Structure 1
Amino acid sequence: MIFTCKEHVELALDVIVDEYETAPHLTELPEEKKLSTTCEYCENHAEYMVAN
């Protein structure tokens, strides 16, 4: 599971496909989670969760 901002969502999708060889699930975070969760690549507020 990877939390990511809009800028890095494609990178997160590629990582999930490469690691698990399955189609990733992209879920938009609810507003309350966006404020407290950071992107794993740049420390901006995360807007999406990418999971296998």
Structure 2
Amino acid sequence: MYVVCNDHLEIALEEFVETYEQSPDVYELDQVSFTDWTSPHTCEFCDRHPKYLVV
């Protein structure tokens, strides 16, 4: 699972496919919510605000 900004979405997609050998689902963080999970405040790869959840 990756939580990333616009600039790092492609890297997250590539790493996910390399690791799991399948394509991920991509969600916009402002469009989804989970009861037992809170989105991190920064991108997985930098200090920017994340926009996407890659799972």
TM-score relative to the length of structure 1: 0.83
Gaps in structure 1 of 5+ consecutive residues: none
More strand by share: 1
Identity %, equivalent residues: 40
Runs (4+) off by over 6 Å:
none
Tell me how far apart the structure 1 counterparts of residues 42 and 2 of structure 2 sit (CA, whole Å): 10
Task: Report the RMSD for the aligned CA atoms in angstroms.
Answer: 1.8
Aligned length: 48
Gaps in structure 2 of 5+ consecutive residues: 34-39
TM-score relative to the length of structure 2: 0.79
Letter in 1 for 2:46: C
